[in-house]
Amino acid sequence: MKVLMAAALLSTFTFAHAEGTHEFNGNVALTTDYMYRGFTQSNEGPAISGGLDYGHVSGFYAGVWASSIEFNPSTDNASSIEVDVYAGFGGGFGDSGVSYDVGGLYYLYPEQNEDVGASYDFFELYGRLGYSFNDMVSTGLYLAYSPDFYGETGTGIYVAANLDLALSQGFGVSFNIGNQDVDDANTNYTHWSAGVSKEVGAFGFDMTYYDMFNANEDCGVDTDICDGVVFTVSSSW
């Protein structure tokens, strides 16, 4: 089933806490295709994004992130921007290597004309457990729940896992797999991705391949909306 999904950056969400009481961070990115849980959010075109985060030494954090998108551009219900507002609490368990993160995220599509279609806006609760084996290998499990998912399609549940490898010379390799289930939309699909990244000074460069296990069935005729190679350049401070 071909479904246009909302977008986010949370499948492998982490937050770096300050050594002091407060910390503010910013980030910007330019990508050749904005992918979210296996589907393009920018109609297979480039997207620009940026965000601001606040963190407290207690583990509390809050932030806002926005990206250009391209939803239904030829209709009266189009949207070209997404804004995500989130807050949560994260931390670790001593020197065990185990980390946790719980919070809530609200997706906003301010340009959408709700008079001609179901609302794109929706809310999710999320939680993540991570484990670092050493300085090179880390993994995590992620769960998100929405009482009324994108397009007012009912209960949505998303489960994902990731494996990240930190290599020498600023290189990294990542693997992700996730399953999205939406009750009222009769949608259940599994997607995966594998990527390589490189840090160069203040910039990060990433090349990731996205796909589904059954692209013909999950994506419909146009399989391009859920598979392909995506290049991203980003910077944070």
CATH number at residue 203: 2.40.160.40
Residue 8: inside a domain, yes or no?
Answer: no
Residue 72 makes CB contacts below 8 A (sequence gap 6+) with 4, 78, 79
At residue 178 the predicted structure's pLDDT band, cuts being 50, 70 and 90, is very high
Determine the Cα–Cα distance for residues 235 and 237; give it in Å rounded to an integer.
Answer: 7
Task: Give the DSSP letter of residue 73.
Answer: T
Taken in order 224, 143, 121, 69, is the CA torsion positive or negative? negative
Tokens of 106: 């609200």
pLDDT, residue 13, reads 40
The yes-or-no verdict on residue 80 having pLDDT over 70 is yes
Q: pLDDT for 32-50, tens place per residue?
A: 999 999 999 999 999 999 9
Per DSSP, the residues of 135-186 read SSEEEEEEEEEESS-TTT---EEEEEEEEEEE-GGGEEEEEEEEEEEETTTT
Query: For the stretch 87-106, what's the b/e string if a residue is b when 16 or more beta carbons lie within 10 angstroms of its beta carbon?
Result: ebebeeeeeeeebbbebebe
In whole angstroms, give the CA distance from residue 183 to residue 191. 18
Mean pLDDT rounded to a whole number for the chain? 89
- Domain assignment present for 151: yes
Domain presence at residue 28? yes
- Answer whether residue 87 is part of any domain: yes
DSSP code for 5: P
pLDDT at position 70, please?
93
pLDDT interval class at 113 (50, 70, 90): confident
Distance in angstroms (rounded) separating the CA atoms of residues 133 and 76: 50
What letter would DSSP give residue 52?
E
**Torsion-angle region of residue 4: left (phi > 0), alpha (psi -120 to 50) or beta?**
beta
Asked if residue 9 is part of any domain, the answer here is: no
- The pLDDT of residue 120 is 94
Report the predicted TM-score, pTM, of the whole model to 2 decimal places. Answer: 0.88
Q: For residue 216, what pLDDT band results from cuts at 50, 70 and 90?
A: low
Q: Are 35 and 210 in contact (CB under 8 A)?
A: yes
Which residue in the block uniquely carries the two structure tokens 């859920």? Answer: 226
Q: What is residue 26's predicted lDDT score, i.e. its pLDDT?
A: 97
pLDDT band at 24 (very low <50, low <70, confident <90, very high): very high
Number of domains comprising the chain: 1
Domain extent for 28: 22-236
107 in a structural domain: yes
Residue 186 lies in a domain: yes
The pLDDT score that the predictor gives to residue 9 is 38
Domain-located, residue 94: yes
Per-residue pLDDT, averaged over 119-145, amounts to: 97
Q: How far apart are CA 64 and CA 26, in angstroms?
A: 10
